[in-house]
Structure 1
Amino acid sequence: MTLLLLLIIYLAFISLGLPDSLLGAAWPLMQKDFGVPLETAGILFMTIAGGTIVSSIVSGKVIKRFGTGKVTFFSGLLTASALLGMYVAPSIIWMGVWSILLGFGAGAVDTALNNYVANHYKAHHMSWLHSFWGVGATLGPVIIMAGFMLGDGAWRNGYLTIAIIQFILAAILLISLPLWNNASNNREGGLSENTETLDDEPSREHTKPLHIKGVKLSLLTFLFYCGVETTVGLWGSSYLVNVKELSAATAAQWVSFYWGGLTIGRFLTGFVTFKMSNTMLIRLGQIIALVGAALLILPLPTTVSLVGFIMVGFGFAPIYPSMLHETPARFGKTHSQTIMGYQMAVAYTGGTFIPPTLGLIASHTTIGIFPFFIVIFIIGMLLSSERLIALLRKRASVFN
C-alpha cells in the first residue's frame, strides 16, 4: 500500500510541473488572441504566484483539519478546473480569474505533498520527486504545448490536454484516499539515518511556529534560494546575448543546460542521500553553485560560461529538496506542516519578486550585473543556512 501511494505521489509531482511552464510557452499566441500588451504575461504570472503564496500560508490549518489526502485531491481538482477555465476563457479578465484559482490549487498540493514526504519517506524520495517535477515542467511546453502551436487558438488545446491529465490525476487521488491513512500508520519513516534530529519536541509543542528558533533563518534561506534559482532561468539568456554576445538560440540552449543540470542533479542526489546527510548536501550544493556563479564573473573564454551555468544548476539540485526534507527534524513534526507552508510561501515570494528586481536594476544600469547579483544571493543563502545549522547544533547540544 505504501509503495502504491508513493507511485501516486510521483505521478502528482509530474502533474505539478506540467502547468508551471505553460504560460511562457503559450504566451506569444495568447497575446495575439487577446490583443493585450506583452507585459500582461507578467501580471498573470504574479496573479498565479499570489494565489500560490496565500494558499501556502493557510495550508497548514487546512491540511490539519481535512488531512493530506483530501486536500491533495481537492487541490488537484481545483487545478484541473482552472486549466479548463483557461481553455474556454473568452477574455484576458477571465484568464486572470482562473489564474487565481490555479495558484490556490498549486500552493496547497505542493505544501501538502512536500510535508507528507518529509514525514513519511526518506530523503532520496524527496530528491527524486523534485526531479520528476522537472520532468513535468519540461513535458508541458516541449511535448504537449509545442504539439498544438499551429493554427488559430491552438494554445487552448494545450491547456485542455493538461486539464484532462489533471482531472485523471484527481480521479486517481479520489480513489486513493483510503491509502493515505493506512500509509500514515505504516510509514517508511521520513527521518532517515542521515537526518539530524532533535529531542526538544515537547518544548516546542505549544510554541507558535514563527517563534521557534531557526524558523526565520530557514525562511530567509528559502527566499534567497528560490529567488536566485528563478533569476538565473529568467535572465541567463539576456546576459549571454548582451554581454557574451551569443545568438539568442545558443543562449537559450545554454540556459536549458542549467535546467538540465538541476533536474539530473536531483535525480543523482537521491542516490547520494544514502551516504550523505541533508545538511552536507545543502552545504556542498551551495559551494558548487557559488563556484559556478564565480565562473560567470571571471574574464575567461565564453565556453567557461556554459560550465558555470551547468555548475550552478547542478549545485542548486540538492538544496531545495534537502531543506524541505529537514523541516520535521529541525522544527518538530507538530508544526512541520505549518512551517512547510510558510517556507513554500516565502519560496514563491522570492521566485516572484527577486527576478523582476534584477530586471529593474539592469534596465537602469546593465545586464552585466547579472553574475554579481547571483553571487551575492548565493552568498546570502549560504550564510543564512550556515547560521541556521550552527543554531540547530547549539540547541541540540543543550537538549542532549
Structure 2
Amino acid sequence: MATFFLIIIYFAFISLGLPDSLLGVAWPVMHIDLGAQFQSAGLISMSIAGGTILSSLASGFVLGKLGTGKVTLISCFMTAVALLGFSFSPSFIWLIVLAIPLGLGAGSVDAGLNNYVANHYKAHHMSWLHCFWGVGATLGPIIMSRFIGGNSSWRYGYRTVSFIQFSLVLLLFFTLPLWEKVGKERIKNSDQIDGEGNESSTEIISEHNTGGGNVVTLPGVKFALAAFLFYCAGESTIGLWGSSFLVNTKRFSPVTAASWVSLYYGGITVGRFITGFVTMKLSNKALIRLGQIISLIGIFLLILPLPQILSFLGFMLVGLGFAPIFPCMIHETPVRFGKINSQKIIGYQMACGYIGATFLPPLLGFIAAKTSISIMPFFVLIYIVTMLLGSERINLLMKSLHIKNNNLKC
C-alpha cells in the first residue's frame, strides 16, 4: 500500500510541473489571439507568483487545519479549474483573474507534499520526486507545442492539461483516506523518517521546539530561508537570462544558445535522478555542500574568458550542481529544526524561494539593461556564495546545539 501511495505522490509532482512552463510556450500565440501586449505575460506571471507566495506562507495554518491529503485535493482542483478557465478566457483580464487561484493552488500543495515526503520517506525519494517535477515541466511544453504546431488553438493545450489535472483530482479523492493511514504506518519505522544517516531532529533541537510559535526565531531558520531565496534566484536567473548572456557576451547564435540552456535544465533533471541513488551513500548536508561547490566551478567557467566549449561545460556543471540542493535542503528541514516545526518552516522556505525566483531575475534584467548582460554570472556567483555561507552557518549551529544537548544529558 505504501508503494502504491508513493506512486500517487509521484503523479502529483508531475502535475505540479505541468502548468509551470505552459505560459511561456503559448504566449507568442496567446497575446495575438487575445489582443494583449507581448510584455503583458509578466503581469500574469507576477499574479501567479503572488498567489503562490501567499498560499506558501499560509500553508502551515491550512495544512494544520485540513491535513496534507485534503489540501492536495483542493489545490489540484483549484489548479484544474484555473487551467480550464484559461482555455475559455475571452480576454486578457480573465487571465489575470484566473492566475490568482492558479497560484494559490500551487503554493499550499507544493509545501504540503514536500513536508509530507520529508517526514515520511527517505532522501532519495525527495530527489526523485523533484526529478518528476522536471518531467512535468518538460511534458507541458510538449503538449502545448503539439496543439500549436498542429494548427490547433493554444486553448486545446490548456484544456488537455486541465483534464489531466482533473483526472488526478479524482484519483486523490478516492485515495484520500490513505494519507493519514500511510503516514501513521511510516511513523512506526523511525529509520524511514530521519533519512539516511541523519541524526534525529529531536536529538538536535528538542529544546527549541515551538510547535505553533514563531518558528523564524529558531536557530538557523533565517539562514535556511535566505538559502532558499538565493538558490531559487540563481536557478531562475540562469534560466531567464542564460540564453541572452550566451548570445550577447559569448557570441553564440540564438539557436545554439537556446539548446544549451535547455541542457542546463536537463542537467538539473538528470542530476536529481542521479542524486536519488547518491543519497543512499552520502548525507543531505554533504550533497548540499557538493552541489554548491560544483555550481561554483560552473559559474567560474562562465565568468572566465575561455573557449566556447567550456561555456557549455559551465552551464552543465551549474545545472548538475543545482540538482541536489533544493530537494536535500527540503528533506533536511525536519532534521535541522524538528518535525513539529517543519510544516511551517517548509511553507516559509517555499515562499522565500518564490520571492527569489520572482523578483531577483527581473532586477538583474533592469540593471543589465543599463549596463551589460555580462554581469549575469557575477550575480549568480553572489547568490551561490551567500547560499553556501548560510548553509554552513546552519551546520555549525546544529553541531553546537548537538554538543550542548549531549553536555546537558551528562
CA contact (8 A) 2:56 2:350 kept: yes
Per the alignment, residue 273 of structure 2 pairs with 267
Residue type at the aligned position of 1:163: S
Contact 1:33/1:153 (<8 A) preserved: no
What is the aligned counterpart of 2:314 among 308, 312, 325? 308
Q: 1:376 Cα shift?
A: 1.4
Contact 1:123 1:190 in 2 (8 A): no
Q: CA RMSD for the aligned pairs?
A: 1.1
> 1:201 Cα deviation (Å)?
2.4
The match for 2:63 is 63
Paired residue for 1:297? 303
What is the 5 A alignment of 1:15-94? 15-94=15-94
1:212 aligns with 2:212: no
| Structure 2 residue aligned with 1:196 | 199
Tell me, in whole angstroms, the C-alpha distance in 2 between the residues paired with 1:139 and 1:151.
17
Shift of 1:208: 1.9
Listed as ranges, the gaps of 5+ residues in structure 2 are none
1:239-250 to 2 correspondences below 5 Å? 239-250=245-256
AA paired with 1:158?
G
CA distance in 1, matches of 2:394, 2:37: 44
Q: How far is the alpha carbon of 1:100 from its aligned partner?
A: 0.5
Q: Tell me the CA shift for residue 397 of structure 1.
A: 1.1
Asked whether 1:320 is paired with 2:326, we answer yes
**Equivalents in 1 of 2:320, 2:380: separation in Å?**
15
C-alpha displacement of 1:39: 1.2
Matched, 1:368 2:367: no
2:176 maps to a residue whose letter is: L
Residues of 2 paired with 1:371 and 1:62: CA distance? 38
TM-score normalised to structure 1 length: 0.98
Q: Which moved more, 1:182-191 or 1:66-75?
A: 182-191
Task: Answer yes or no: is 1:172 the counterpart of 2:175.
Answer: no
Superposed displacement of residue 152, structure 1: 7.0
Shift, 1:174, TM fit? 0.5
Give yes or no for contact 1:123–1:273 (8 Å, CA) kept in 2.
yes
CA deviation string 1:147-180 (max 9, x = no partner): 1114777111000000000000010000111111
C-alpha separation in 2, matches of 1:239 and 1:220: 26
> Aligned pair count?
399
| 2:61 partner letter | K
Q: 2:177 is paired with a residue of what secondary structure?
A: helix
Letter in 2 for 1:194: G
Where does 1:230-245 land on structure 2 (aligned, <5 Å)?
A: 230-245=236-251
Cα separation, 1, equivalents of 2:155 and 2:395? 47
- Between the aligned partners of 1:212 and 1:203, the Cα distance in structure 2 is 7
What is the letter of the counterpart of residue 308 of structure 1? Answer: G
Distance 1:177 1:360, change over 3 A: same
Paired with 1:336 and 1:374, the residues of 2 have a C-alpha distance of: 28
**Deviation digits for residues 56-85 of structure 1, max 9, x if unmatched?**
000111111111101100101010000001
Q: 2:117 matched to which residue of 1?
A: 117
Distance 1:151 1:139 in 2: 17
SS in 2 for 1:177: coil
1:161 is matched with 160
Counterpart of 1:263 in structure 2: which amino acid? T
Q: Say if 2:123 and 2:196, in contact at 8 Å, map to a contact too.
A: no
Supply the distance in 2 between the matched residues of 1:153 and 1:92 (Cα, whole angstroms). 20
Q: Deviations over 1:195-232 (max 9, x none)?
A: 23342325413542111111101000000100000000
1:93 deviates by: 0.6
> 1:12 maps to what in 2?
12
Between stretches 152-161 and 30-39, larger displacement belongs to 152-161
**Kept in 2: contact 1:29–1:153 (CA 8 A):** no
Q: Percent identity?
A: 57
1: CA distance, partners of 2:258 / 2:351:
29
Q: Following the alignment from structure 1 to structure 2, what is the Cα–Cα distance between the partners of residues 195 and 323? A: 13
Letter in 2 for 1:195: N
Could you tell me which of 280, 285, 294 is aligned with 1:279?
A: 285
Matched, 1:106 2:106: yes
SS at match of 2:20: coil
After superposition, what is the alpha-carbon deviation per residue over 1:254-289, rounded to whole angstroms, capped at 9, x for unaligned? Answer: 001100000000000000000000000000000000
- Match in the other structure for 1:399: 405
Structure 1 runs not aligned, ≥5 long: none
- Measured after TM superposition, the shift of residue 292 of structure 1 is 0.3
2:127 corresponds to: 127
Looking at structure 2, the residues matched to 196 and 147 of structure 1 have their Cα atoms a distance apart, in angstroms, of 48
Distance 2:301 2:21 in 1: 28
Distance in structure 2 (CA, Å) of the matches to 1:152 and 1:261: 32
What are the Cα deviations for residues 275-327 of structure 1, in whole angstroms up to 9, with x where unaligned? 00000000000000000000001111011000000000000000000000011
- TM-score, length-normalised on structure 2? 0.95
- AA partner of residue 331 (structure 2): H
CA–CA separation in structure 2 for the residues paired with 1:53 and 1:138: 23
Structure 1 CA distance, aligned partners of 2:51 and 2:151?
Answer: 30
Distance 1:195 1:203 in 2: 18
CA–CA distance in structure 2, aligned partners of residues 65 and 286 of structure 1 = 36
Partner secondary structure for residue 213 of structure 1: coil
**Counterpart Cα distance in 2 of 1:297 and 1:311:** 13
